[in-house]
Amino acid sequence: MDSISSDAARDGSICDEAIVLSVTSALAKDALSYFQSGKFHECIDILIQLNHKKRNDPKVLHNIAIAEYFKNACSNSKKLLEDLNTVKKQSEEFAKEPLEAVNPGSNVSVSKHQFDSTITTLNIAVTWFHLHQYAKSLSILDPLFLNIEPLDETIALQICFLMLDSALACHDAVKFLEVFGHLDKSFWCWFWNS
């Protein structure tokens, strides 16, 4: 009897999680649509709703910071940097938390907060670049570049292109050639087979 009730409870919990996931996914899509349409206030409203469902989720907080920046006509880069650095620190703290077992008794574990701070770090570097702090941007990008292999290709390309721009602005030919060499070696098929 206990097995049946625990199975039913687990199935109910899985169903509840699926509903929450469906709702949060729909909210995220709505927020993206509003953002891409330039309706930043509406985007933020949706992201706040999403934040209520996924309390302090770094992805949501990151997107709120970006949407607020755009809502304010990209006028307060300092606040954006503060917000992004806060999100980055939070996600790094979450990464230190112990893993939870997916199924008790199994060896499969996941973090409660699976959020890679790469995108946040990239956006911090982009912000410094737009503030004409090219050396600062380059110094932030360098650790990302050193660990670029496991990253999604699109993100890796964004990192490389921003590094090229930053290296050019800093007159750092060595860094430029290092990044260009990596692009040539890793992504040549993207450029020559398109």
Mean per-residue pLDDT, 7-32: 71
Q: Residue 91: what pLDDT?
A: 86
Q: Which amino acid is at 117?
A: S
1 or 152: which leads in pLDDT = 152
**What length does the chain have?**
194
- Rounded CA separation 167/161 (Å): 10
Q: Is residue 26 one of the residues assigned to a domain?
A: no
For the chain, how many structural domains are there in total? 1
* Domain interval for residue 164: 132-187
Check: CB of residue 157 under 8 Å from CB of residue 187: yes
Beta strands in the chain (DSSP E): 100-101, 109-110
Q: Is residue 157 one of the residues assigned to a domain?
A: yes
Euclidean distance between the first and the last CA atom of the chain, given in angstroms as a whole number:
61
Q: How far is CA 59 from CA 44, 96, 142, in A?
A: 13, 17, 23
pLDDT at 4 over 70: no
Q: What is the pLDDT of residues 46-95, one digit of tens each?
A: 999 999 988 888 999 999 999 999 999 999 999 999 999 999 998 888 77
149 or 105: which leads in pLDDT = 149
Residue-averaged pLDDT of the chain = 84
Provide DSSP, 84-128: HHHHHHHHHHHHHSPPEESSTTSS-EE-SS---THHHHHHHHHHH
Q: Is residue 182 one of the residues assigned to a domain?
A: yes
Taken in order 115, 99, 55, 81, the sign of the CA dihedral is negative
Closest CA to 94 of 110, 112, 109: 112
Q: Is residue 2 one of the residues assigned to a domain?
A: no
Residues in a beta bridge with 100: 110
pLDDT at 113 over 50: no
Q: Residue 192: what pLDDT?
A: 54
Question: What's the pTM value of the predicted model, to 2 decimals?
Answer: 0.78
For residue 178, how far is the Cα from the chain centroid?
A: 25
pLDDT at 9 over 60: no
pLDDT at 1 over 70: no
Q: Is residue 83 one of the residues assigned to a domain?
A: no
Other C-beta atoms closer than 10 Å to the C-beta of 188 total 10
Q: How far is CA 29 from CA 25, 50, 143, 145, 171, in A?
A: 6, 11, 31, 30, 41
Q: Is residue 137 one of the residues assigned to a domain?
A: yes
Q: Is residue 13 one of the residues assigned to a domain?
A: no
Q: Percentage of residues in the chain with pLDDT exceeding 70?
A: 76
Q: Is residue 183 one of the residues assigned to a domain?
A: yes
